[in-house]
Amino acid sequence: MPRYFFSIRHRPGTRGLAIDEEGDELPDLNAAREYALDVAKDMIARHRTDMIRDWFDCSFEITDEAGRHVLTVPFSDTVPEEDEEQLG
């Protein structure tokens, strides 16, 4: 299984990226996105910190084993858009 790395962008600049050096093995990019959304939900609900002003300004910057950026998952994606919600 490929390994994906889930760094957290929490503000602009180099100090605004918390780099994940360990990563997780997941079947594919779609699974990586689902995993990122699950983790984001849990962090928004349970992670107490004075460092993050607004979780919805944060995103997961997902990279692959070669260090290539493969996907950005904004924490705001954990909440469906209003019209999506109505459709669902």
Partner 1 sequence: MADLQQSFVRNRLLRALSPENFALLQPHLERVEAPFRRVLITPNEPVGTLFFPETGYGSVVADGSAGRVEVGLIGSEGLIGAIPVLLASDRTPHQSMVQHAGEMLSIPAGALTEAVAQSDGLRTLLLRYVHALSIQTAATAYSNATYTTEIRLARWLLMCHDRLEGDGIAITHEFLSLMLGVQRGGVTLALQTLEGNGLIKAQRGRITIRDRESLIATADGSYGGPEAEYVRLIEGA
Q: Which residues would be at the binding site for partner 1 (CB under 8 A)?
A: 6-8, 10, 15, 18-22, 39, 42-43, 46-52, 60
Q: How far apart are CA 4 and CA 29, in angstroms?
A: 8
Nearer to partner 1, 15 or 86 (CB): 15
Query: Counting every residue, how long is the chain?
Result: 88
Which DSSP string corresponds to 55-80? GGG-EEEEE-TT--EEEEEEGGGGS-
Nearer to partner 1, 31 or 43 (CB): 43
Find the shortest distance in angstroms from Cβ 59 to partner 1: 11
Nearer to partner 1, 6 or 63 (CB): 6
